[in-house]
Amino acid sequence: MNEASEPVGTLQVALEHAVRLMAAQPALAAEQAAEILKVAPRQPLARLVMGVARRKLGEMDGSLALLEELAAEQPEWASAHYELGVTLGALGRGDAAVKSLRRALELKPDLSEAWRELADHLDALGDDEGADIARLRNISTSVHDPRLMKAAAAMGENRIPVAEALLREHLKQHPTDVAAIRMFAEVAVRLGRYRAAEDLLTRAVELAPGFSAARHNLALVRHRRNKPVAALRDVEQLLAIDARNPGYRNLHAAILSGIGEYDRALAVYEKLLAEYPAQPKAWMSFGHALKTAGRQEESIATYRKAIALEPRLGEAYWSLANLKTFRFSAKEILAMERALARDDLSNDDRLHFHFALGKAREDDGAYAESFRHYSDGNRLRRAVSRYSADETTEHVARSKAIFTRGFFTARAGWGCPDADPIFVVGLPRSGSTLIEQILASHSQVEGTMELPDIGVIARALGDRQSRADESRYPEVLAELDAARFRALGEQYLEQTRIQRKTQAPFFIDKMPNNWAHVALIHLALPNAKIIDARRHPLACCWSGYKQQFARGQNFTYDLTDIGRYYRDYVELMAHFDRVLPGRVHRVIYEALVGDTETEVHRVLEYCNIQFEPTCLRFYETERAVRTASSEQVRRPINREGIDQWRHFEPWLEPLRTVLGPVLDTYPSTPDFAT
Which band of pLDDT confidence, cut at 50, 70 and 90, is reported for residue 308? very high
Q: Could you report the per-residue pLDDT of 206-248, keeping only the tens digit for each?
A: 998 989 999 999 999 999 888 899 999 999 999 999 998 998 9
- 157 falls in which pLDDT band (50, 70, 90)? confident
Which pLDDT score, from 0 to 100, does residue 6 have? 42
**Measured distance CA(15)–CA(21) in Å, rounded:** 10
In one-letter notation, the amino acid at residue 400 is: K
**Mean of pLDDT values over 482-487:** 97
Does the structure show a pLDDT above 90 at 651? yes
User: Contacts by 617-621 with C-beta closer than 8 Å and gap 24+?
Assistant: 617/441, 618/434, 618/437, 618/438, 618/440, 618/441, 619/437, 620/441, 621/437, 621/440, 621/441
pLDDT of 417: 97
Give the Cα separation of 571 and 532 in Å (integer). Answer: 13
pLDDT of residue 131: 85
Q: Could you tell me what percent of the chain has a pLDDT over 70?
A: 95
Output phi, psi for 536, to 5 deg. -45, 130
Mean local confidence (pLDDT), 98-114: 93
Q: What pLDDT sits at residue 85?
A: 93
Q: What does the alpha-carbon distance between residue 239 and residue 134 come to, in Å, rounded to a whole number?
A: 21
In order, the DSSP letters of 85-134 are HHHHHHTT-HHHHHHHHHHHHHH-TT-HHHHHHHHHHHHHHT-HHHHHHH
pLDDT band, very low/low/confident/very high, at 31 (cuts 50, 70, 90): confident
Check pLDDT > 70 for residue 658. yes
pLDDT band at 324 (very low <50, low <70, confident <90, very high): confident
Q: pLDDT value at position 630?
A: 44
Sign of CA dihedral 233, 238, 241, 243: negative
Q: What is the pLDDT of residue 37?
A: 86
If you average pLDDT over residues 580-588, what whole number do you get? Answer: 97
**Nearest alpha-carbon partner for 320 in 294, 296, 286:** 296
Q: Residue 4: its pLDDT value, please?
A: 38
Contact 29, 18 (CB under 8 A): yes
Q: Which residues contact 406 (CB under 8 A, 6 or more apart)?
A: none
Q: What is the pLDDT of residues 602-633, one digit of tens each?
A: 999 999 999 999 999 988 877 555 444 444 44
Residues 126-135 pLDDT 10s: 787 888 888 8
> Of all helices (H) and strands (E), which one includes residue 426?
strand 421-426
Over residues 266-285, the pLDDT tens digits come to 999 999 999 989 889 889 98
Q: Is 513 exposed, middle or buried (0-12, 13-18, 19+ CB in 10 A)?
A: buried
Give the whole-number percent of the chain exceeding pLDDT 90. Answer: 68
What average pLDDT does range 487-513 have in this prediction?
Answer: 95
Mean pLDDT of the region 449-478:
88
Q: What is the mean pLDDT of residues 23-38?
A: 85
Q: What are the structural domains of the chain?
A: 415-665 (3.40.50.300)
Residue 581: what residue type? P
Over residues 334-349, mean pLDDT: 95
What is the per-residue pLDDT for 22?
A: 80
CB 440 within 8 A of CB 633: no
Q: Which of the listed ranges 2-16, 257-271, 331-345 does the model predict with the highest average pLDDT?
A: 331-345
Looking at residue 624, its pLDDT comes to 54
Determine the pLDDT at residue 673: 66
Residue 38 is predicted with a pLDDT of: 87
Alpha-carbon span 89 to 81, nearest angstrom: 12
Could you tell me which residue, 623 or 538, shows the higher pLDDT? 538
Question: Per residue in 36-55, pLDDT tens?
Answer: 888 888 888 889 989 888 99
Instruction: Note the pLDDT of residue 126.
Output: 78
Residue 425 has pLDDT above 80, yes or no: yes
Q: How confident is the model at residue 5 (pLDDT cuts 50, 70, 90)?
A: very low
* Secondary structure of 295-353 in HEC code, one letter for each residue: CHHHHHHHHHHHHHHCCCCHHHHHHHHCCCCCCCCHHHHHHHHHHHCCCCCCHHHHHHH
Mean predicted confidence (pLDDT) in 66-85 = 93
- The pLDDT value recorded for residue 626 is 45
Helices (H), 403-481: 405-409, 432-440, 453-462
Q: Are 192 and 466 within 8 A, CB to CB?
A: yes
Cα separation of 437 and 309, whole Å?
A: 35
Q: Is the pLDDT of residue 294 over 90?
A: no
Average pLDDT along the chain: 90
Burial of residue 251, with CB atoms counted within 10 A of its CB: 0-12 exposed, 13-18 middle, 19 or more buried: buried
Q: What is the pLDDT of residue 530?
A: 98
Dihedral pair phi/psi, residue 271, rounded to 5°: -70, -40
Q: What H or E segment, with its residue span, contains residue 20?
A: helix 11-22
Full-model pTM: 0.83
Q: Which long-range contacts (CB under 8 A, 24 or more apart) does 33-39 make?
A: 35/5, 35/6, 35/7, 36/7, 36/11, 39/7, 39/11
Residue 521: the pLDDT is 98
pLDDT tens across 172-181, in order? 988 998 889 9
HSE, side-chain direction, 13 A CA sphere, residue 200: 25
Instruction: Identify the H or E element spanning 212.
Output: helix 212-224
For residues 438 and 603, is the Cβ–Cβ distance under 8 A?
Answer: yes
**pLDDT (mean) for 352-366:** 97
DSSP 615: G
**Helices 262-275/94-107 angle, 10° precision:** 60
